[in-house]
Chain A
Amino acid sequence: MILFSLIPLTLSAQVTTNTGNVTGVNKATTGSTSVNLNTPGVAGQTTTVSATSAGQKELSEVLTGFKGHEYNYFEINQEMFKAFCELEYADSTTIALFSKIKSVKMLELVRTPKEQKLLDAGKLDNEPWDPQFYVSVTSQLDLTGYTQLLRSKNYRTLALFLKKEYGPVDNEFLLITDRLVIDIRGDIMIKTIYQMEEMMGYVQQILPN
């Protein structure tokens, strides 16, 4: 899989793999820095998208700025996570996870019926791909205080994974892709993020119908 390396802002460490470059653990800095995203376009053509990597807006402001039926946005606060812990079917593992999460925000670009149809048929990879959503988010967001854990691109997706520390037990992990933005804040580590898929699968199983 082809990965890419973007212009690092202030590089503190970089991990290189045999399959390509993944820029890891870059300290994002303030200021307006031009970033070129060499993205594959239609029919394998390479297009260059220019974007400003650091904007001035807070995350909430950026996320709520995407309005319209083509976007889905939700935010779960700490009160709701407390409510999760009080569910009668919540076990100790679930409670242990949810009690540490302060908030989850998600903005998603809704797939069009045509895209969904192609996705279901497994033919979406052949369709034109637009990274505008990713560019729009990253160009507006104020990256002050965020540490870049990962920035990668493969033949159809862009991903930027950031971390911000508010305190010893208060971290924020922000994932920005070409289709969605997910922000998780709480007493969590990257290992917790790794385990979440499995844990959520389990929670899904114990949910009563």
Chain B
Amino acid sequence: MEQEHFDPDFKEIYEWYIREEQEESRKIYDEIAPELTLPVRRIRRWWYPAAAALLILVAGTWALTSDKSPFQSKPKYTEAEVRQSLEKTIRALSICSKTVREEFSHIEDLSAMTDAIKPAKRTPAIDPKSDSNTIKN
């Protein structure tokens, strides 16, 4: 059988041609690749925003509905708690007021005491003889 012989120059040109074709094909593929893999890439692109949105949705729902949420506008105290606290307050304030009144009642001149407690400006005594005390219309 006769062996086929190629010209070495031709072989080199042929191999160069093959390489160029492969490179050109790769370039073309790279250009159209985003379009070819669009669904997969879209999912990957929106994965984090979607997860963030979902997280916000869950947190928002919790904030608006949970009893433990700090944004919940439900009253802090039950009616019974308020009532009980109010009764205790009434008792405490009444006892305090009563005791203070009783103890201060031992002081005859209470005005002197209150003046001492509140050292406000003393109104100068009105001199009936002075004209400056007369109210002029």
- Using a CB–CB cutoff of 8 Å, the interface residues on chain A facing chain B are 1, 3, 12-13, 15, 17-20, 22, 24-25, 74, 76, 79-81, 83-84, 87, 104, 106, 149-150, 152, 159, 161, 163, 173, 175, 177, 180, 182, 184, 189-191, 193-201, 203-204, 207
Given A84-B86, A207-B83, 12 new contacts (CB under 8 A): A17-B108, A20-B106, A79-B77, A80-B85, A84-B85, A87-B82, A177-B99, A184-B96, A193-B100, A198-B97, A204-B90, A207-B86
In angstroms, Cα B90 to Cα A44, docked, is 35
Query: What secondary structure prevails in chain B residues at the interface with A?
Result: helix
In angstroms, Cα B119 to Cα A25, docked, is 11
Give A51 Cβ to nearest chain B Cβ, in Å.
Answer: 19
Report yes or no: A19 in contact with B103, Cβ–Cβ below 8 A: no
Whether, in the assembled complex, B117 has its beta carbon less than 8 Å from a beta carbon of chain A, the answer is yes
Report yes or no: B112 in contact with A200, Cβ–Cβ below 8 A: no
Whether, in the assembled complex, B72 has its beta carbon less than 8 Å from a beta carbon of chain A, the answer is no
Report yes or no: B93 in contact with A104, Cβ–Cβ below 8 A: yes
- With A76-B88, A104-B89 known as contacts, the answer to whether A24 contacts B107 (CB < 8 A) is yes
- With A80-B82, A182-B95, A193-B100 known as contacts, the answer to whether A15 contacts B90 (CB < 8 A) is no
Report yes or no: B96 in contact with A150, Cβ–Cβ below 8 A: no
In chain B, residues 77-127, which have Cβ atoms closer than 8 Å to a Cβ of chain A? 77, 82-83, 85-101, 103-104, 106-109, 112-114, 116-118
Q: Which of B83, B97, B108 contacts A194 (CB 8 A)?
A: B97
Interface residues on B, range: 20 to 34
Give B113 Cβ to nearest chain A Cβ, in Å.
Answer: 5
CB contacts (< 8 Å) of A175 on chain B: these are: 96, 99-100
Give the total number of A-B pairs whose CB atoms are below 8 A apart.
115
User: Which one of B101, B103, B108 has the greatest number of beta carbons of chain A within 10 Å?
Assistant: B103
Give A39 Cβ to nearest chain B Cβ, in Å.
Answer: 16
CB contacts (< 8 Å) of B85 on chain A: these are: 74, 76, 80, 83-84
Report yes or no: A25 in contact with B93, Cβ–Cβ below 8 A: no
Give A21 Cβ to nearest chain B Cβ, in Å.
Answer: 9
Q: Which of A74, A159, A201, A204 contacts B103 (CB 8 A)?
A: A159
Give A37 Cβ to nearest chain B Cβ, in Å.
Answer: 15
CB contacts (< 8 Å) of B99 on chain A: these are: 159, 175, 177
Report yes or no: B90 in contact with A180, Cβ–Cβ below 8 A: no
In angstroms, Cα B92 to Cα A106, docked, is 7
CB contacts (< 8 Å) of B100 on chain A: these are: 150, 161, 175, 190, 193-194
Report yes or no: B97 in contact with A18, Cβ–Cβ below 8 A: no
Give A151 Cβ to nearest chain B Cβ, in Å.
Answer: 9
Report yes or no: B103 in contact with A150, Cβ–Cβ below 8 A: yes
A-B contact pairs, 21 of them (CB 8 A): A13-B116, A15-B107, A15-B112, A17-B107, A24-B107, A25-B117, A76-B89, A80-B82, A83-B77, A83-B85, A84-B82, A106-B91, A173-B96, A175-B99, A175-B100, A184-B92, A184-B96, A189-B118, A190-B114, A194-B100, A201-B94
Report yes or no: A180 in contact with B95, Cβ–Cβ below 8 A: yes
Report yes or no: B106 in contact with A1, Cβ–Cβ below 8 A: yes
CB contacts (< 8 Å) of B92 on chain A: these are: 74, 76, 104, 106, 182, 184
In angstroms, Cα B106 to Cα A80, docked, is 35
